[in-house]
Structure 1
Amino acid sequence: MEYKAPLRDMRFVLHELFDVAGHCELLGNGLDRELIDGVLEEAAKYAGEVVAPLNRNGDEEGCTLENGEVTTPKGFKEAYQQYVDNGWASMAGPIDFGGQGFPQLVAAQFQEMLMGANLAFRVYSGLTDGAVLALYKHGSEELKNAYLAKMVSGSWSGTMCLTEPQAGTDLALLRTKAEPQADGSYKVTGNKIFISGGEHDMSENIVHLVLARLPDAPAGVKGISLLLVPKLLPDANGNPGARNALSCGAIEHKMGIKGASTCVMNFDGATGWLIGGPNQGLACMFTMMNDARFQVGLQGLGIAEQAFQGALSYARERLQSRALTGPANPEKAADPIIVHPDVRRMLLTQKTLVEGARMLGAYCAVQLDLEHGHPDEAARKAAAKRAALLIPIVKSFFTDLGQEVASLGVQCYGGHGFIREWGMEQLMRDSRITQLYEGTNGIQALDLIRRKLMGDGGAEMAALQAELLAQSEALAGRAELAGLVEPIRARLNEWRELTAQVLAAAARDPQEIGAVSVDYLQYSSYVLIAAFWLQAAAKAQDALDAGSGETGFYQAKLRSAEFYVKRILVRASSHREALLGGADCLMALPEADFAF
């Protein structure tokens, strides 16, 4: 399936909604509009011409494990070398270790391209980015000097080793041990499962970040430490040397992303070094995990964009039946299916979810940039709070919409969507994992309620709601936007009221936390995206009023915003009614009565 990066929409988001040039000026990185556009054009070529053609082959060939070595699908290694040689790996890396320092707002656009072009291929480099961030923030100067430059360049890749057979979400159950050695290193022993890119043939070395327990560690999550454990121990010159005491015991046979090696990793007294202080592993890992959750959200968005492109292309070409109002193309045997209202419904659902998510993802990326790069400390702290609030929404909602949009893509193809050769069914299989890893979407919803909403009594959520409401009210006087402003403003007010009800219910009964969490996250997501659609519509109307030559593009924004409000935002009502149903109907049925 062909992939073309949605550059025009990305430019709209970057330049017209978020003023990326002004953002870069604030961050002091010296990037301007011309340079950013040029980089993204080259990124689109790499994603579309190099990475995308490997997607189907990667799915069909998969990875192979022989004598402890994993071979990736044909073409992956060469494409990865281009990724390294052309500087894509170092795009967002820290400048003091060879990175180019691009803001996440820009890098996220390239990352979305990779996700849409070939998710399995992106898996290998995706976790390296998070490992770099964790090591840069928490590692000793010695470790950073030894590893970061090679990881930033992409010549060495990284992994995140958390999960064990008995310890998934509940990291308190971890058993992997780290024994201190006289030279300051540790011997790491244990088994990890579901390790993305744990073994492969694309990079010179693989640097594992491993959660483990020290001998005197307290029980539970307070006794977890983070260690850096390389596949190959660096020699005196810093080059890959002797093999460490670790191995890939197996690779998983999966539903999707078959071109990505998902490994069982065995650590048999492997040499490692502590990152951060003893028993501080969870705090260190959350640095990496938050980045990974944002990236997984982009995976859902990338898959959704590719599914929309495939469905739109097919709907324009596939001839079946006649339009309900009479032949649209009487010179042909039938009309293209895009003339049919139900196909339009599916395509517009795809389009408005994808473009809305792209706006919300960019807003989250702005907060991540400001958290790390704003010159004012108070502004950095404020951005960190906002990013933390948004991360579970981005991870969960974007991956849910990825699955929905891929499913709609299959439906648009009809029977051909079920057939492997068309490529659409692969997107459904590939996207399914995104709702599971880096914390299932149910866990994201619990995180939103317990840690984010209840953690500060709803203060940060209230601040976000107030900002969005003020933006909507500022547009209230524009007659051409009245059909959007009023329903969105009403939803924003309803969201505030609903949040107060959720907080009260959670304080009254802990079971309510779990009972309302998913529906509250879904409700919040639909309203958030509606607020961004309103801003997009305002920008589009401004462009039309100014006499823009791209009339079709901006009118499409206005019509898409109208569709979202009339046909998608209304979904929020069902989530509101469901969460107000409370916990009793979930917990009243005795376990024994769940009978076959």
Structure 2
Amino acid sequence: MTYQPPVRDHAFILRDVLNIDQHGDLPGFSDAPFDVVEQILEAAAQFTGEVLAPLNTVGDKTGCKLDPVTNTVTTPPGFKDAYKQMCEGGWTAIGSDPAYGGQGLPHVVNLAFSEMSSSANMAFSMYPGLAHGAYSAIHVGGSDEQKQTFLPKMVSGEWTGTMNLTEPHCGTDLGLLRTKAVPQADGSYKITGQKIWISAGEHDMADNIVHLVLARIEGAPAGVKGISLFIVPKFIPNADGSVGPRNEGAKCVGLEEKMGIHGNATCVMQYDEAVGYLIGEENSGLKIMFVMMNEARLGVGMQGVAQGEAAYQAAVAFAKDRLQGRSLTGPKNAEGPADPIIVHPDVRRMLLESKALIEGGRAFLFWTALHGDLSHVHPDPAVREKSSDYMGLMTPVLKGYLTDKGFQVCSNAVQVHGGSGFTEHFPVSQFMRDCRIALIYEGTNGVQALDLVGRKLAAKGGRAVMTFFQEIDQFIGENDSDEALKPFIEALGGVKAQLQDGTMWLMQNGLQNPDNAGAASTDYMHLFGLAGLAYMWALMAKAANAKIAAGSSDPFFTTKLTTGRYFIERILPDAASHLAKLKTGSATLMALPAEAF
């Protein structure tokens, strides 16, 4: 089975659901009319399907190799050449600023490419993915000189980037970090400390690696208020921007043995008086790093969808090919010894559940990414404010909900394969192993849920969630009399009421006892995810109905409607369960003393 990039589905969302051409007069969008976007999608599918996908198993089996003498890492066979092709094709520059050699296209278009590359080869796609995050942090927080020095090479892909947050004793609680920065007479700093789990921290595909490192300047305040951000390059650039001498104090001293993403170098980075350059103001590092982290969280939500898509495709291929038993309603493959397992209702349940979650999740991701674009380039301040609010509110939902569901889809794919899925003869075990990290890194899903209920809901007096409720109410009001859309409108109205109920409960009970908010957070995040997907399925159903009403007999649209009805009938009822659980509060959850576990 080979991965087939879902170009048709991407095109449907971008053209028919989001109608990106309506923004054609805005910066970035003016260079991306849909006919151009369609060509980009086709080219992206060819590159990811033909170049990256064949290397996925290679990367998994071979992994990365560290030379302990030179502290250099060799990536799996084929990775270096594929990365070169990626750079030559301009794929590293799609969404980047033209001032630094980027193409300046909307980030939602870049996300479509990123999904394809992640489905094709998640471990490989993390190298350019993290580099783009580092680019974004420097773009927002760096000085003009830093931008001119580092960004053109990062946009071209000649240099990659990393984010260095976690230390052996602290991950989520960054206030505990110990890496220190000592000011030097020339304005640079000496950085000393150890960082762990640094994805793409050392490799042989680029000429330089630009590490972004969180550290504490001597004498800085304790906790998160005293954290600064530094550029610590593997090689120190010369005045003309070329690669200069090795930054001897910055080294990879270990590679992690991991469950998955073997093709990505997950490094232990040791900094011993390495040369570093402060980004932005002293003690404001976390604010700048959050630019990278928020972009990464949206990207991790995308990874959940991407691995789910690849696993779903593999499961469908297997279910159509594997002969086992007879249909409950009589043979469907009368000439053969048995029927393909896709005739069995329970196999169809797993496949349809996967299809509904992936297609709804993809739409939710693209819808949010479009708001990210509008938050930067729309001329109306009210639109920019709403879109910025949505980005803040939806990011933890997308990261947490879509990775949970992506892993569930991968698990379903293994189940569809039966015993074959548990072996390494088929690709689904790798998809499941690779996907598992997405629930953990860039802030575990429990942390995402806490961020949602603890910070994002209450931000600006709850403005973002209230705006979302109003948007859904407006959509329902505008389409209430549409008979063809009625099941979707009713379902959306129902789950919106449940989400509103859960939100009010949290506002009343979370302030009274913070443990209530913590206990409810994961169920609330899943309830929010279901509401988001219900809205997306209503939007997609409306677009599909319009195509059918206009005379289209393309089965793509009827299939879309059937998949959406499955979501309403068999997945959306979970919302009631999440609401009931979150409203039980924290009393029982917190009742046992630690020694009782």
Query: What range describes the TM-score normalised by the shorter chain of this pair?
Result: over 0.9
Q: How far off is 1:466 after superposition?
A: 1.6
Confirm whether residue 425 of structure 1 aligns to residue 425 of structure 2.
no
- Kindly report which structure 2 residues correspond to 1:272-351, keeping only aligned pairs within 5 A, or say none: 272-351=276-355
The aligned runs of 1:492-531 (5 Å cut-off) are 492-531=496-535
Residue type of the partner of 1:182?
Answer: A
Question: Do structure 1's residue 94 and structure 2's residue 97 form an aligned pair?
Answer: yes
| Alignment root-mean-square deviation, CA | 1.1
Q: CA deviation at 1:549?
A: 3.7
Deviation at 1:378, TM superposition (A): 4.0
In the other structure, the counterpart of 1:193 is: 196
1:208 paired to 2:211: yes
Name structure 1 gaps, 5 residues minimum.
none
Separation in 1, partners of 2:36, 2:491: 39
State the secondary structure of the residue aligned to 1:586.
Answer: coil
Instruction: Check if 1:33 corresponds to 2:37.
Output: no
The aligned residue for residue 57 of structure 1 is 58
Q: Secondary structure at the match of 1:529?
A: helix
Matching of residues 515-594 of structure 1 within 5 Å: 515-550=519-554, 552-594=555-597
CA deviation vs aligned residue, 1:404-454 (integer Å, no higher than 9, x gap): 000000011111111102011011100000000000000000000111112
Moved more, 372-381 or 9-18: 372-381
Aligned to 2:375: 371
Cα offset, 1:557, TM superposition: 1.2
**What secondary structure is seen at the aligned counterpart in 2 of 1:212?**
strand
Question: What's the counterpart of residue 11 of structure 1?
Answer: 11
Q: How many angstroms does 1:457 deviate by? A: 3.5
Match of 1:34, as an amino acid? Answer: D
- In structure 1, the partner of 2:475 is 471
User: Quick one: which of 166, 170, 173 aligns to 1:167?
Assistant: 170
From 136, 143, 146, give the equivalent of 2:139: 136
SS state at 2:589 partner? helix
Q: Normalising by structure 1, report the TM-score.
A: 0.98
| Contact kept in structure 2, 1:473 and 1:485, CA below 8 Å | no
By how many angstroms is 1:188 displaced?
0.6
Could you list the runs of 5+ residues in structure 2 that have no partner in the other structure? Answer: none
Q: Is the 8 A contact 2:312 2:351 kept in 1?
A: yes
Native 8 Å contact 1:26 1:374 kept in 2: yes
Deviations along 1:440-482, whole A, 9 cap, x unmatched?
0000000001111123342211110120122123222122222
Q: 1:393 aligns with which of 397, 404, 422?
A: 397
3-state SS of paired residue (1:315): helix
Amino acid at match of 2:129: G
Name the aligned partner's letter for residue 194 of structure 1: W
- Spell out, residue by residue over 1:535-590, the C-alpha distance to the aligned partner (whole angstroms, 9 max, x if none): 1111111111110141x111111111111000000111111111111100111111
Report the identity percentage.
Answer: 47
Which piece of structure 1 moves more, 585-594 or 57-66? 585-594
- Cα distance in 2 for partners of 1:339, 1:571 equals 26
Residue 331 of structure 2 aligns with an amino acid whose one-letter code is P
Counterpart contact for 1:192–1:266, Cα < 8 Å: yes
Indicate how the Cα distance of structure 1 residues 496 and 53 shifts in structure 2: closer, same or farther if over 3 A, else same.
Answer: same
Q: 1:548 to 1:217 in 2, by over 3 A?
A: same
Aligned length: 593
8 A Cα contact 2:164 2:213, kept in partner = yes
* Aligned partner of 2:494 among 486, 490, 495: 490
Query: What is the aligned partner in structure 1 of residue 88 from structure 2?
Result: 85
Alpha carbons 1:189, 1:270 under 8 Å: kept: yes
Q: Residues of 1 paired with 2:34 and 2:486: CA distance?
A: 32
Question: In structure 2, what is the equivalent of residue 361 of structure 1?
Answer: 365
CA displacement 1:280-318 (0-9 Å, x = unmatched): 001000111100100111111100000110111111111
In the TM superposition, residue 487 of structure 1 has moved relative to its aligned partner by: 2.6
Residue 448 of structure 2 corresponds to residue 447 of structure 1:
no
- Judge conservation of contact 1:322–1:335 (CA < 8 Å) in 2: yes
Residues in 2 aligned to 1:475 and 1:336: alpha-carbon distance in whole angstroms: 41
Once the two structures are superposed, residues 120-148 of structure 1 have per-residue CA deviations (whole angstroms, 9 ceiling, x without a partner) of 00111111111111101110001111111
CA contact under 8 A between 1:473 and 1:489: conserved in structure 2?
no
The aligned counterpart of 1:380 is 384
2:260, 2:434 within 8 Å by CA — same for their partners in 1? yes
What is the CA–CA distance in structure 2 between the aligned matches of 1:539 and 1:456, rounded to whole Å?
33
